[in-house]
Amino acid sequence: MTNIGFIGLGAMGGRLAGRLVDAGHTVYGTNRTRAKAEPLIERGMTWMDSPREVAASADVIFSMVTDDDALAAIAGGPDGLLAGLAPGKLYIDMSTVSPQASRALSSRLGQIGAQMLDAPVSGSIPQAETGTLAIMVGGDRDAYAAVQSLLHELGQAVTYIGPSGQGLVIKLAINISLAVQTLAFSEGLLLAERDGIDAKLAAEVMSSSPIGSPMLKARIPLLLDLPEHAWFDVQLMHKDIRLARQAATEVGAAAPSTEVADKMLTKAEELGYAHRDIAGIYEALAQLSTPGTVTA
Q: What is the pLDDT of residues 219-257, one digit of tens each?
A: 999 999 999 999 999 999 999 999 999 999 999 999 999
Task: Say if residue 57 is in the same domain as residue 119.
Answer: yes
Residue 294, domain member (yes or no)? no
Task: Say if residue 97 is in the same domain as residue 184.
Answer: no
Q: How far is CA 191 from CA 130, 147, 184, 294, in A?
A: 35, 48, 11, 11
Task: Say if residue 140 is in the same domain as residue 201.
Answer: no
Task: Say if residue 176 is in the same domain as residue 52.
Answer: no
Please give the Cα distance from 19 to 36 (Å, whole number): 16
Please give the Cα distance from 247 to 238 (Å, whole number): 14
CATH number, domain containing residue 79: 3.40.50.720
Residue 296, domain member (yes or no)? no
CATH number, domain containing residue 217: 1.10.1040.10
Each residue's pLDDT tens digit, 267-287: 999 999 999 999 999 999 999
Which of 105, 130, 163 is the last residue before a domain boundary?
163
Number of domains in the chain: 2
Residue 262, domain member (yes or no)? yes
Q: Once rounded to an integer, what is the mean pLDDT over residues 129-139?
A: 95
Task: Say if residue 206 is in the same domain as residue 76.
Answer: no
Task: Say if residue 74 is in the same domain as residue 207.
Answer: no
pLDDT for the residue 296 = 37
Task: Say if residue 181 is in the same domain as residue 140.
Answer: no
Which of 96, 129, 163 is the last residue before a domain boundary?
163
Which of 148, 163, 178 is the last residue before a domain boundary?
163
Residue 51, domain member (yes or no)? yes
CB contact at 8 A, 278 and 182: yes
pLDDT for the residue 290 = 77
Residue 143, domain member (yes or no)? yes
Task: Say if residue 210 is in the same domain as residue 84.
Answer: no
Task: Say if residue 16 is in the same domain as residue 134.
Answer: yes
Task: Say if residue 156 is in the same domain as residue 188.
Answer: no
Indicate the pairing of strand 133-138 with strand 121-122.
antiparallel
Each residue's pLDDT tens digit, 51-70: 999 999 999 999 999 999 99
Residue 56, domain member (yes or no)? yes
Instruction: Indicate the pTM of the whole model.
Output: 0.91
Task: Say if residue 251 is in the same domain as residue 138.
Answer: no
Each residue's pLDDT tens digit, 60-111: 999 999 999 999 999 999 999 999 999 999 999 999 999 999 999 999 999 9
Task: Say if residue 55 is in the same domain as residue 183.
Answer: no
What confidence category does residue 1 fall into, taking pLDDT thresholds of 50, 70 and 90? low
User: Residue 267 is part of which domain span?
Assistant: 169-288
Residues 158-182 as b/e (b if ≥16 CB within 10 A, e otherwise) read: bebbeebbbbbbbbbbbbbebbbbb
Residue 279, domain member (yes or no)? yes
Residue 295, domain member (yes or no)? no
Over 70: is that where the pLDDT of 294 sits?
Answer: no
